[in-house]
Amino acid sequence: MTADRPAPRTKERAIQRYEQYLHGLGREDIGTVCEVAGPGAKKAEDQGFGPCTTTYAIVFQMISPEQKNALRTATVDPQRVHVRTLDTIEMPLESVRSSATFSEEDLGSYVLEYLKDDYYITDGK
């Protein structure tokens, strides 16, 4: 979305943002990943983890080449997304559709919240 217009507060937009994150993970695109996951990464940093760029550089090493390739084209099944409210939307691991298999340890489930006019990952399990 443009900087002067808020993104729509919809399940579809939350899915679009999560797919941006997944594709960014697959491409090792630290800018995209830290932009979408910024609030959640900030919480982790406050708990003693390194800054987003440092933490995700490690995460990239933990994902296999096959998984990275699959993440570049991963999609989210809207039927498996849990809308608590339009401000808080859960993306369970089972909602990710890709050519590779992921476990909770590999990828996990995430919560996206509507903050500052768009959806951001605020929590992971």
Copy the structure tokens of residue 71: 């993440």
pLDDT in tens, 67-82: 999 999 999 999 999 9
* pLDDT for the residue numbered 1: 46
Confidence of residue 2 (pLDDT cuts 50, 70, 90): very low
Copy the structure tokens of residue 17: 């943002």
Confidence of residue 3 (pLDDT cuts 50, 70, 90): low
pTM for the whole thing? 0.92
Closest by CA to 86, choosing from 114, 117, 111, is 114
Residue 97 has pLDDT above 60, yes or no: yes
